[in-house]
Structure 1
């Protein structure tokens, strides 16, 4: 495992809910990241964020780690959930609430 994959793995496994995003939870830098934060805020679940704009290695590495080409990316209990579109679909169906509630 490369150094960047090890760093990402540590972040993913060290946090129950983590969102790799552009910007921060208080100041998202893209609409998709903003929507992802809004969904998590609405659920009231504590979550960590990683600003990929601050670390080019992680910005590129996360795409290979998840085999998913876009950001944001949500992980719950070490498992890749998806990006903002998948998060919205899961939120609307109630799946996301069940997933994070089961992990709380």
Structure 2
């Protein structure tokens, strides 16, 4: 988040040319990066509703799990739905986040009977 389109283009060009996770520079889209702030707000609400107080270390551990799950969801969704011409390129976290968000909304609509 906070990158210009030109910077995002540089990140994405690097991702497309990288074939190794260790050497990759990935761009995490705003919706995925924002997950951390939203998650901490949710953790605060959970503490308040349960009338408990977690240590900083407990909150950090819970946040880390949430962010790892967010990354894995973006990565795995991108791998599943990738139509990249270069199959050796690393998956796009941008595409993964967009598709994962769409799938989640579509599944929620279907669960609520709002399905055509």
Q: Normalised by the size of structure 1, how large is the TM-score?
A: 0.26
Q: Normalised by the size of structure 2, how large is the TM-score?
A: 0.24
Structure with the larger helix share:
2
Higher relative contact order (CA 8 A, sep 6+): 1
